[in-house]
């Protein structure tokens, strides 16, 4: 199936929308695209909208954890939103929600970052 990555921004928040499968075949593409944007220094926070994500393996978890570490080092926050039930279960089992907040939708995630729409 592959993966579609849409990267936009709202003030100092980088918004990443993933559609498809985040696995060992697609992880590097996502990692590189996000890291390139973060290197600009324009973004303090990162929001992952996972509403279109249909599959994720341990490589995908690694991408999320790596971006969390990077954003934390920059003094920012990372938030997940709109997570599908099957992906939610994987994240729950991995303990990801112990370190990453999750919001129902992108608007509430952006509001948590101080962006009002």
For the stretch 62-84, pLDDT in tens is: 999 999 999 999 999 999 999 99
- Residue appearing with tokens 């696995």: 23
Which pLDDT value is given to residue 20? 97
Q: Could you report the per-residue pLDDT of 2-47, keeping only the tens digit for each?
A: 999 999 999 899 999 999 999 999 999 999 999 999 999 999 899 9
- Give CA–CA dist 86/56, Å, rounded: 9
Tokens for 64, please give them.
């999320």
* All domains of the chain in start order, with CATH: 3-110 (3.30.750.24)
């Amino acid at each position: 199936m592959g993966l579609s990555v849409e990267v936009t921004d709202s003030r100092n928040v980088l918004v990443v929308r993933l559609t498809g499968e985040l696995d060992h075949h697609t992880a590097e593409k996502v990692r590189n695209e996000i890291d390139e944007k973060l290197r600009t220094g324009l973004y303090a926070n990162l929001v992952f909208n996972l509403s279109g994500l249909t599959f994720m393996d341990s490589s995908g978890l690694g991408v999320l954890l790596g971006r969390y570490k990077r954003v934390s080092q920059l003094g920012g926050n990372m938030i997940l939103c709109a997570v599908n039930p099957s992906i939610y279960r994987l994240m729950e089992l991995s303990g990801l929600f112990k370190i990453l907040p999750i919001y129902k939708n992108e608007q509430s995630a952006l509001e948590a970052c101080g962006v009002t729409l």
